[in-house]
Amino acid sequence: MPVDAISLEVFKNLFAAVAEEMGAALQRASFSPNIRERLDFSCAVFDAETRMIAQAAHIPVHLGSMPASVAAAVAEFEEFFPGDVVVLNDPYHGGTHLPDITMISPVFAGGELSYFVASRAHHADVGGMTPGSAPLSTELYQEGIIIPPLKLKLSGWMNEGALALIVANSRDPEERIGDLEAQLAAHRIGESRIADMMIEHGVEATAEHAAALLTYSRQMTKAVIAGIPDGVYRFRDAMEGDGQAEFDIPIQVRIDVEGEAMRVDFAGSAPQVLGNVNAVPAIVRSATWYCVRLLADEDIPVNHGCFQPVEVIAPAGSFLNPRFPAAVVVGNTETSQRVVDTVLGALAQALPELLPAASQGTMNNFAVGGTIGGKQFVYYETLGGGHGASSQGAGLSGRHCHMTNTLNTPVEALEYSLPLRVLRYQLRDGSGGGGQHRGGDGILREYELLVPATVTINAERRRRAPYGIHGGQAGKCGLNTVIRAGQAEVVSGKVNAMLAAGDRAVIETPGGGGWGEARA
């Protein structure tokens, strides 16, 4: 089959459909609300050289980090066999943070290794200091079980010891085994669909189109970069603390654009810190590549090719490239958002009419866990906020933005599954920044505990507001409040609290920045 525009479009959708169908299976089979309701997972297809061929439209922070996991898995094992499944979550071996458990399965054709299918799902608890595995940690060991690349299945046979070890380290073992089995079910779907493609279209034709898709995405990305004026663009922002203390943690970027190439250098960013906001390089690359994809008029197929024209440098020993065993659990969620704000802030100097103001700049991580009826429960979610306004109009309100693409957990689903009551869930009117176009509003979500529990909040933009652009005003900062025995206390962006039955936690998320000066 010759490669032409029509056949390339067909295969682009065939590969993407494999990842999408894997995701549908994973969602349907999952046990936890975080996966089933919020869709906090991603699925992808890779070739035998561990180059990503397609990823479903799931979580942007997984864009550039899943390839690192697949590469780490392949580097660990000299040989794969049909029915093998590798599992890992180690951030220093291709992972992002410990709750994100990645699985990789080989796909064979005529006895030859041809492809891999992969899934990554955020598990609500993998151990660690506090329920939800998002503690105010100072080293990786405090964040949960560390899983190096190992074979969970060998030639189709379950490694029962490895599975038991992983499940035993969770506060909710039944939910963990259910979500792990859901990932395995998704892999069976992916392996079958890739095999069907090769049978129907031929092994060589499928491989030729996979390679052509990489070239196509690379050329499209080069065209996007060529549309940016050559030059050097800089921007500086900061994190607000590391969970141990509140202090500015600078993040600085220099972007060099020359022709069809882009170099993004984070030299000058802060050294690694004691707390949990350090981010491994795979996260930094993901956030940077995501920003470049935003500039495209057309939808660039997500694969290895679209990453190649963009060089990303994160200095070793910085909090964007920490040394083991630095704590990293919210580097994946919070620092990734700040990388986006910083990169877009620099690119806005080159493309002032195209780039928006800052969105909420946080995922507002909320984790809670305790015991009811002698059984432990755990829950984790992130919350939406305001999008930044742009030249095209006002920012969206109450939506997840940038590096998180998850859904809202419906109040009914949360209250059905957990001893929690949601007293308020509403837009935070007036929190978007003013301007010619207003930033989107954040949200307010108030939880009441029905049993004693431990609550952990990891959030940003509580002191440094999302910036406006071109005269637009900054969005309103977020706010965390804990109400104990009727007494309200405003707490920091990153907090761990033991609450009694009847106590409440209120999270107010930031609004997006405004665009342009307000007209009289």
Give the structural domain span for 408.
356-520
Q: What pLDDT, on a 0 to 100 scale, did the predictor assign at position 167?
A: 97
Question: Tens digit of pLDDT for each residue in 459-509?
Answer: 999 999 999 999 999 999 999 999 999 999 999 999 999 999 999 999 999
User: Closest by alpha carbon to 513, among 429, 428, 387?
Assistant: 387
Cα 382 from Cα 408, distance rounded (Å)? 8
The distance in angstroms from the start CA to the end CA of the chain is: 62
Q: Which residues pair with 218 in a beta bridge?
A: none
Report angle CA 231, 232, 234 to the nearest 5 degrees: 145
Cα 243 from Cα 23, distance rounded (Å)? 33
Longest pairwise C-alpha distance within the chain: 71
Q: Which residues contact 63 (CB under 8 A, 6 or more apart)?
A: 55, 286, 289, 290, 293, 302
Q: Which of the four pLDDT bands, split at 50, 70 and 90, describes residue 2?
A: confident
Domain membership of residue 314 (yes or no) is no
Q: Which residues pair with 261 in a beta bridge?
A: 258
Q: Determine the length of the chain.
A: 520
Contact status, residue 457 vs residue 276, Cβ threshold 8 Å: no
Q: What pLDDT, on a 0 to 100 scale, did the predictor assign at position 78?
A: 82
Q: What pLDDT, on a 0 to 100 scale, did the predictor assign at position 56?
A: 80
Q: What pLDDT, on a 0 to 100 scale, did the predictor assign at position 301?
A: 87
Backbone angles phi, psi at 275, to 5 degrees: -85, -160
Domain membership of residue 262 (yes or no) is no
- pLDDT of residue 62 exceeding 80, the answer is no
Contact status, residue 364 vs residue 248, Cβ threshold 8 Å: no
Identify the domain boundary among 179, 202, 218: 218
DSSP 182: H
Q: Which residues pair with 437 in a beta bridge?
A: 515
Identify the domain boundary among 218, 248, 277: 218
Whole-number percent of the chain with pLDDT over 70: 98
Q: What is the mean pLDDT of the chain?
A: 95
Q: Are both 368 and 516 inside the same structural domain?
A: yes
Domain membership of residue 376 (yes or no) is yes
DSSP 331: I
* CA R_g for the chain: 22
The position carrying tokens 């007494």 is: 487
Cα 68 from Cα 34, distance rounded (Å)? 24
- pLDDT of residue 278 exceeding 80, the answer is yes
DSSP 173: H
Whole-number percent of the chain with pLDDT over 90: 89
Q: Contacts for 413-420 with beta carbons within 8 Å, 24 or more apart?
A: 413/33, 413/37, 414/33, 414/379, 414/381, 417/33, 417/379, 418/33, 418/368, 418/377, 418/379, 419/370, 419/372, 419/377, 419/449, 419/450, 419/451, 419/453, 420/368, 420/379, 420/447, 420/448, 420/449, 420/450
Domain membership of residue 272 (yes or no) is no
Domain membership of residue 340 (yes or no) is no
Q: Are both 24 and 173 inside the same structural domain?
A: yes
Domain membership of residue 99 (yes or no) is yes
- pLDDT of residue 408 exceeding 90, the answer is no
Q: What is the DSSP string of 86-130?
A: EEE--GGGT-SSTTEEEEEEEEEETTEEEEEEEEEEE-S---SSS
User: Which element (helix H / strand E) includes 204?
Assistant: helix 203-226
In this predicted structure, which of 155-159, 241-245, 376-380, 400-404 has the lowest mean pLDDT?
A: 400-404
Q: Which residues pair with 499 in a beta bridge?
A: 453
Domain membership of residue 321 (yes or no) is no
Identify the domain boundary among 218, 247, 273: 218
Q: What pLDDT, on a 0 to 100 scale, did the predictor assign at position 520?
A: 65
- Report how many domains make up the chain: 2
- pLDDT of residue 356 exceeding 70, the answer is yes
User: Which element (helix H / strand E) includes 289?
Assistant: helix 281-294
Domain membership of residue 323 (yes or no) is no
Q: Which of the four pLDDT bands, split at 50, 70 and 90, describes residue 57?
A: low
Q: Which of the four pLDDT bands, split at 50, 70 and 90, describes residue 332?
A: very high
